[in-house]
Amino acid sequence: MKKTLIAAAVMAASGVAFAASNVTLYGVLEEGVVVQKGKHFDTNVQLKSGFVAGNRWGIKGVEDLGNGYTVGFILEQGFDSDTGAEAESTQAFSRESILYVNGNYGSLAFGRTGGLAFAQSRAIRTGWVFGTSYGASSWNNYAWVAKRMNNVISYATPAFGGFSVHAMYSNSGTGNTSNDLDKWSKNGHYYGIGVKYQADAIKSSLIFEAAQNKNLPVTSNRNAKYGINYGLEWNLGAITPMFGYQYVWQDKGNKDHQFGLSAQAPVAGGTAMLGARYLFGKDDGAAAGKEDKHNVFTIGAGYAYPLSKRTKINSYAGYAHSGKAWKETEFFKSSSVGMDKAPNYSGYQLFVGLQHNF
């Protein structure tokens, strides 16, 4: 049965009227096995959901308004395929929930989405083959300004000679708490501005982000946080080399530089990926007499082989090593309950899994 017919049945059951030909039900299911060992935990084997591509389902649609204008929406929810649990039990669409208008003057969107340097439909970051996935090789493991946010207004200009300008604002902040009913000066705020270039074989982006963390508890670091991301990709046919750079800084917090070199290439009917990066920085909030500098080096290799147009096998091997203040840092907790240990600072990961898109 076609995806549009399935979506029609879902929406019709809820009593919502729409044009069936313009609505699509879609999603990603991925399951695999991770073998990993960290400096501070024993080797373990676990069934892992969404290691490469976060499990999700969504509904998207678009309507032609005429005169070059369209209106559309994206509603997307994440979930754990191991248990069927929602990514955020308090949110019906935790990954993305936006309404947008595209036209001759660009694209304007409202709702919940990811920051310009993170993920989702409004993000423009380039320059790292593993993106925000692949365990220890995820670009945003150690330093970032914003991930997903509520109350977003996003605008992108039309492309001129391959260049487009992207701006984003959020009135909910980027922390774990927010109350947009407070006066404006007490809310958390996010500001992002970026330039993207995409023409022929070259793709590049330069992004500046700022977050005012006034919505965080008084015991947290509420100073403004800033970040710069630059990325470059050049498709040479036989190989696509990439370069990424990131600088994130905050008063009484970390000031981190991150450099990454990576590439992907078609190999034996699939896609091979290789990437290495190095982060170093200083913690301005370190206690007197304590080491205030830190660093971490990661290297990863992956291979994706398509079994069909919608199904593929993913594999990955990664290693991380940290030093100075982070030398004895324990595992990175990749779940809120701390049960899903990941050796993002020191250790290795091996993964193999099956991914299906619908």
Tens-place pLDDT, residues 229-268? 999 999 999 999 999 999 999 999 999 999 999 999 999 9
Q: What is the pLDDT of residue 66?
A: 94
- 5 domain residue, yes or no: no
pLDDT, tens only, 132-156: 999 999 999 999 999 999 999 999 9
- 46 domain residue, yes or no: yes
Give the pLDDT band (50/70/90) at residue 196.
Answer: very high
Q: What is the pLDDT of residue 334?
A: 58
- 245 domain residue, yes or no: yes
We report the CATH number of the domain holding residue 91 as 2.40.160.10
- 70 domain residue, yes or no: yes
> Could you tell me which residues come within 8 angstroms of residue 149 by beta carbon, excluding any fewer than 6 positions away?
112, 113, 114, 115, 170, 172, 173, 174, 190
Domains in the chain, number = 1
> Could you tell me which residues come within 8 angstroms of residue 241 by beta carbon, excluding any fewer than 6 positions away?
233, 234, 261, 262, 263
Average pLDDT over residues 22-46: 92
pLDDT, tens only, 55-87: 999 999 999 999 999 999 999 999 988 888 888
- 16 domain residue, yes or no: no
pLDDT, tens only, 333-353: 655 444 467 788 999 999 999
Residue 331 has pLDDT above 80, yes or no: no
**Which one, of 44, 39, 135, 42, lies nearest residue 327 by Cα?**
39
- 110 domain residue, yes or no: yes
Q: Which domain holds residue 71?
A: 31-357
pTM of the model: 0.90
Q: What is the pLDDT of residue 20?
A: 41
Residue 8 has pLDDT above 70, yes or no: no
- 18 domain residue, yes or no: no
Residue 5 has pLDDT above 50, yes or no: no
- 1 domain residue, yes or no: no
